[in-house]
Structure 1
Amino acid sequence: MIVSLVGFGLLAGSIASAIRQSAKNIKIHAISSPQNAPLAVKKGLADRSFSYDEIEQWLPISDLVLLCGPASNIVENIESIKKHVHLVQRDLVISDIGSTKLEICQLGATLPAPLLFVGGHPMAGSEKRGFEHSDPFIFENAYWILCPERNIQPEAYQKLVDVINITGAHQVTLAAQEHDRIMARLSHAPQLISTALAASIPPWIVENDYQHLAGRGFRDMTRIAASPWQMWKDIIQTNTTEITHSLNEIKTVIDDIICSMENSKLKDAKLADFFKQGSDIRASLSSTGKGFAQSLHEVMVHIPDQPGALLGVIEPLVQHGLNVLDIELAKVREGVGGTLLLGFKNLEDAHLCVKILEVKDLKAKVRI
């Protein structure tokens, strides 16, 4: 099978890296700029490289095409593929990894046979950019959402499912419109709320350097405010309606909170209800289901498939007095290794765990 990754950045490189590590008989073609594409071959992440305008060469020989990058680039690539469909003489699955789906899937549905478009969105990423930061485990245990048309059977896009399974992600199927509705509330609006919170700090706070007094709450809530506009521009433009609805829903809750605070008779009871509702929903996000009173802070550790691998992780943590409250071997691939999930009571212990294991040349990161 030949997998063509169009737009060879961090996520495309991570997909390629996961395929490489699986040792499956899959050829990888990197499609990018003339400057970027050959570097993927040089780094060992691709077998061949092509520039975008060499579509006459890479499209006809592909078995699976994954369009990677911002929504605007994905749209351009779909349009380009549509113009060159006459070159394709066999069934070819086209998918993407864009963060919004409705507009992309509507355009993808116009691709004629033998092309088959299935929209996709892996729920994984990093603050880093570029395939030089590729991580074969970035999709491990993450959700990979697929948005096929209703009349399409899973067997038709089995090659896409096979690649998703190689990455260690969990496939979830949603309608494109439902995807955008959900993501507006769980990802897109929260980004704008975080940005708004950071931007709302009055100038006198910054002028006096008082922002450095911010505690963990403010820092946690504004972490994603550091996200670049260029990354979010396409997301906002292609999901404006649902994001607006979500922000209005949040605005209604904020207005209710202000109203409750101003009404002394209702204040305590009403605010208590808000806090309980928020606490219950937050707890449901990462509940372990194993009887813990609070959700745990998890560390993901890649371990090799070899005797003593588990001991190599646990022993240094014990020596440093770290209390591991939960442990789960999330996924193992024979001959490759797997991911170990370690649960800690507080975030400080989780970060300390990462530092300890990195000294032992083990790849670990706090699961967010």
Structure 2
Amino acid sequence: MANNSIFCGKKISIIGLGLIGGSLAKAFRRMGICDITGINRNMASVEQAISEGTISRGFNELNSYVYESDIIFICTPVKMAIEYLDIISEKVSRECIITDVGSTKAEIAEHIDSMPNPPAFIGGHPMAGTEKTGYAASFPHLFENAYYVLSPAKSTNDRCIGTMAELVKSIGAIPVLMDAKEHDRVTGTISHVPHVIASALVNMVKKYDSADCKMQMLAAGGFRDITRIASSSPEMWENIVSSNKEQIGKIIEQYIDILNSFKLSMDKGNRESVYGFFEDAKIYRDSFSSVKRIPSPADGLINPIFDIIVDVVDEPGIIGEIATILGSNKVNIKNINVSNNREFEQGCLKITLPDSKSVNISFDLLAEKGYKVYKSN
């Protein structure tokens, strides 16, 4: 991790002590920041954070402790973050850096740019998370080896960018500087629209399934793999879609064009075009990783993924330790990689295995050793 001595005397406030806000507070406390103020509408989370020594003090509304901060993190949905920005922007010093952690960046950047006297703001998006929510689910190493996007507004100066980049590195994350609109276009394509598509696939099966639920019963590996993300929070995704509807709308139109083009080739019996559709996708998808799965007749049309996810602290020897546990028990590891974008996944170490038996054995072995282990489903 980066040298964090420059932050030890800083006053930090965190508005919203959920999974992200709580994990930030724990990460900052672990790196030696002693003055942390927490704001949360649910006082139970505030009281828990105080009792654990995570924050120095906590309240259910804004006050002078927040306004006197050096850095303020707004860890709420975008609409609420904008409301907080309007309240605090005139009450903090010009040196105070304000940032957020929302999954979309353009809306809040445009709001900042429209302000007559904007604060020192830089948008933030830590691409890490789990399927669980709330302060109780937070942990200090959530951000280790995760990408952390920083999106400047027009008023953002070099000091803000430099300070936030160093702070992000201090908690083990990887800062990535990206324009707000570009961020929303990228995340709209690789994250937001895939969630819409996954939900649409599930709703399609729900609509066309028989009364005895044959489709649901037979929806095995492949279907589960590509629709897993449809189990995410509806409230969260309604907020994300509302905030990024312009980009999502454009991308959905492009996706519909691709489907229509494929359907036309299929209807015309253009086998070369249909083959090219799948070939192009395969070549590009295979380039994501050096590991290419060998299809098995039992896999069906979509190969099942035999992965486990392990929640680990970034420390020397941890990967070797896990590999030794599995290897000594004759488990064949196909691939190990650190997930840098795990916003809607739990854990950061992804281990690919050859079959479901190996998944079950590995899960039991690592769980017995005290690791938090999750199966891809």
TM-score bucket of the superposed structures, by smaller chain: 0.7 to 0.9
Offset from partner CA, 1:138-175 (integer Å, 9 cap, x none):
22222111111356444334332233113322111111
Name the amino acid aligned to 1:344.
T
Contact 1:88 1:114 in 2 (8 A): no
Unaligned runs of 5+ in 1: 332-338
Amino acid at match of 1:280: I
Whether the 8 Å CA contact 1:299–1:350 is kept in 2: the answer is: no
- 1:228 and 2:237 aligned: no
Count residues with an aligned counterpart: 348
1: distance between equivalents of 2:335 and 2:226? 26
The CA deviation at 1:33 is 1.2
1:33 counterpart SS class: coil
**Are positions 1:216 and 2:224 aligned together?**
no
What runs of 5+ residues in structure 2 fail to find an aligned partner?
Answer: 1-9, 294-304, 341-346
In the alignment, structure 1 residue 160 sits paired with structure 2 residue 164: yes
Measured against aligned partners, the alpha-carbon deviations of 1:313-365 in whole angstroms (never above 9, x if no partner) come to 3443123211234567999xxxxxxx995643447445643432121113445
Using the TM superposition, give the Cα deviation of residue 132 of structure 1 relative to its aligned residue in structure 2, in angstroms.
0.2
Cα deviation, residue 280, structure 1: 2.2
Partner Cα distance (2:150, 2:156) in 1 = 12
Which residue does 1:124 correspond to in 2? Answer: 128
Identity of aligned residues (%): 28
Alignment of 1:31-42 (within 5 A): 31-33=39-41, 35=43, 36-42=45-51
| 1:3 corresponds to 2:12 | yes
TM alignment of 1:193-204, pairs within 5 A: 193-201=197-205, 203=207
The amino acid that maps onto 2:20 is L
**What do residues 105-145 of structure 1 show as CA deviations (whole Å, max 9, x unaligned)?**
11233567683000111111211110101122222222111
Q: Is the 8 A contact 1:89 1:114 kept in 2?
A: no
Q: Partner letter of residue 144 of structure 1? A: Y
* CA displacement, residues 150-205 of structure 1 (integer Å, 9 cap, x when unaligned): 56444334332233113322111111111111111111111111111111125462
Q: 1:367 to 1:4 in 2, by over 3 A?
A: farther
Given that 2:40 and 2:46 are in contact with CA atoms closer than 8 Å, whether structure 1 keeps it comes out as yes
| TM-score between both structures, scaled by the size of structure 2 | 0.82
Alignment partner, residue 43 of structure 1: 52
Alignment partner of 1:58 out of 62, 65, 85: 65
Residue 257 of structure 1 is matched in structure 2 by: 262
The higher-RCO structure (CA 8 Å, 6+ apart) is 2
Tell me which residue corresponds to 2:139: 135
In structure 2, what residue type is equivalent to 1:102?
Answer: A
1:269 equivalent in structure 2: 272
Q: TM-score of the superposition, structure 1-length normalised?
A: 0.84
Q: Is the Cα–Cα contact under 8 Å of residues 363 and 375 in structure 2 kept in the other structure?
A: yes
Q: Name the counterpart of 1:324.
A: 333
Closer, same or farther in 2 for the Cα pair 1:283/1:153, shift >3 Å?
farther
Aligned to 2:80: 73
Question: Residue type matched to 1:50 in 2?
Answer: F
Letter in 1 for 2:25: A
Give the equivalent residue in structure 2 for 1:19: 28
Which residue is 1:284 aligned to?
Answer: 287
Q: What's the Cα RMSD here?
A: 3.0
CA contact 1:302–1:364 (8 Å) conserved in 2: no
